[in-house]
Amino acid sequence: MTSDAVVIDHMRFGTIFDVVTSDALILRFGAAMLRRSGPTKSKLIAQRMRQMGRLKMEVTKNPTLASLSVLDLLAPEYFDDIRTRSCTLILTLI
């Protein structure tokens, strides 16, 4: 079993799963966390990856940002969009 599979196995199939598995940076983040923390933390790593997937879903509700990857969204020109959507996401979870 690959390192990605250890973490991906802890995710349910659905929209967030599709977003996570389609974004290279989220997958690389999970692999790096797995190397750093080990397989005993795979559920926590999967949770962090899902959070990044939710943020990407929220940001890409804006049609002009829909085609961008998480790596592209880290550019300074998208800072305000990320900040605004992060606050929106946080408020919906409260």
Tell me how far CA of residue 15 lies from CA of 2, 21, 38, 53, 90, in angstroms: 22, 10, 26, 9, 19
Predicted TM-score (pTM) of this structure: 0.81
Q: How do residues 68-89 score in pLDDT, each as one tens digit?
A: 889 999 999 999 999 999 998 8
Q: Compute the distance between CA of residue 30 and CA of residue 24 in angstroms, rounded to an integer.
A: 10
Number of domains in the chain: 1
Residue 68: CB atoms within 10 A of its CB come to 18
Task: Tell me the residue range of the domain where 73 lies.
Answer: 3-93
List Cβ neighbours of 11 (8 Å cut-off, separation of 6 or more): 17, 20, 46, 49, 50
Q: Compute the distance between CA of residue 32 and CA of residue 27 in angstroms, rounded to an integer.
A: 9
Q: How do residues 25-71 score in pLDDT, each as one tens digit?
A: 998 998 899 899 888 888 898 889 888 999 998 998 888 888 888 99
